[in-house]
Amino acid sequence: MEDDFYATLKLKSGEEIFARVAASEEEDRTMLIIHNPICISEIKTKAGLVGYKVEPWLKTSKEDMFIINLESVITMSECQDTEMMVLHQQFVHDTGDTKGSSRINRRMGYISSVNDAKDILEKIYKNSNNKS
């Protein structure tokens, strides 16, 4: 197995992903081990500002490592762009903090017990029926 590197991969399926990649020879074929693959799309605001939206490649999986047969890849370009590497590392860091469970805080909204929330919603419902 060779050293890993950052690369953009274009798959035969049409997907374009960015990941840390390592190549591995298995019998008579080459497999790519990709770590934390992401999809990046450019976002333009009405004011003309440009930003990037970073999403995991597979949104329903909690895995961070995948194996792809090299035959499934149309092209691969090694990345030397430090900005892209930092963007990837930041995404990995941010998602690593939220795996498992996230902490609830007041900025997320009102925090109450189920019983308190039920009582409040019942009062709102009863008041809205009385006004009708």
Q: For the segment 57-80, what is each residue's pLDDT rounded down to a tens digit?
A: 998 988 899 999 999 999 999 999
Q: How confident is the model at residue 10 (pLDDT cuts 50, 70, 90)?
A: very high
What pLDDT digit, counting tens, does each position of 77-128 carry?
A: 999 988 889 889 988 888 875 544 556 566 666 666 777 778 888 888 888 8
Helices and strands in the chain, H and E counts: 2, 6
Q: Is 100 left (phi over 0), alpha (psi -120 to 50) or beta?
A: left
Would you say the pTM of this structure is higher than 0.85?
Answer: no
Buried b (16+ CB within 10 A) or exposed e, 97-114: eeeeeeeeeeeeeeeeee
pLDDT value of position 12:
95
Domains in the chain and their CATH numbers?
5-103 (2.30.30.100)
